[in-house]
Amino acid sequence: MQISDHINFSGVNPLIGEGSDSRFVGMTSAYDADLAAAMQRAASEEGIPLSSGVYMWFSGPSFETPAEIRMARILGADAVGMSTVPEVILARFFGLRVAAASVITNYGAGMTGAELSHAETKDMAPIGGKRLAAILKRMIAGGGTELG
């Protein structure tokens, strides 16, 4: 899933403790539109479907509860995870343009009735990772001004 926006639900921010006013980073356009378009084009050229959605960051390392997954949906999240958001915040702090994707490895708690498993996550990640690698290779090879 291409990340179009995020919700920081972790209760922390990697810029806590930064002493300068530069810590007040605007996040309205955290995900660069040109890079997002380049990623979508690359996915299309690779024949890989790439959905787009809002990612909610939970701190982990435990999986979310069914109630937390229901709340995430109510708040507008399409996927949840334990990473990515702090890296995006720091990238924007340093003035970098950002495109992000998340390899979706499993359904959220309560969606299937089964207990979540880290083993399932580890088994599924390489499959999605291979697809994402193909998209990124095509995106980088395509170059263009949007990547400059």
| CATH code of the domain in which 137 resides | 3.40.50.1580
Q: Which domain holds residue 34?
A: 2-147
Question: Considering its fold, how many domains does the chain have in total?
Answer: 1
- pLDDT band, very low/low/confident/very high, at 108 (cuts 50, 70, 90): confident
- pLDDT band, very low/low/confident/very high, at 139 (cuts 50, 70, 90): very high
Model-wide pTM > 0.85: yes
- pLDDT band, very low/low/confident/very high, at 52 (cuts 50, 70, 90): very high
* Widest CA span in the chain: 47
Indicate which residues carry an active-site annotation. Answer: 64
Distance of CA 132 to the CA centre of its chain: 12
State residue 146's pLDDT score: 66
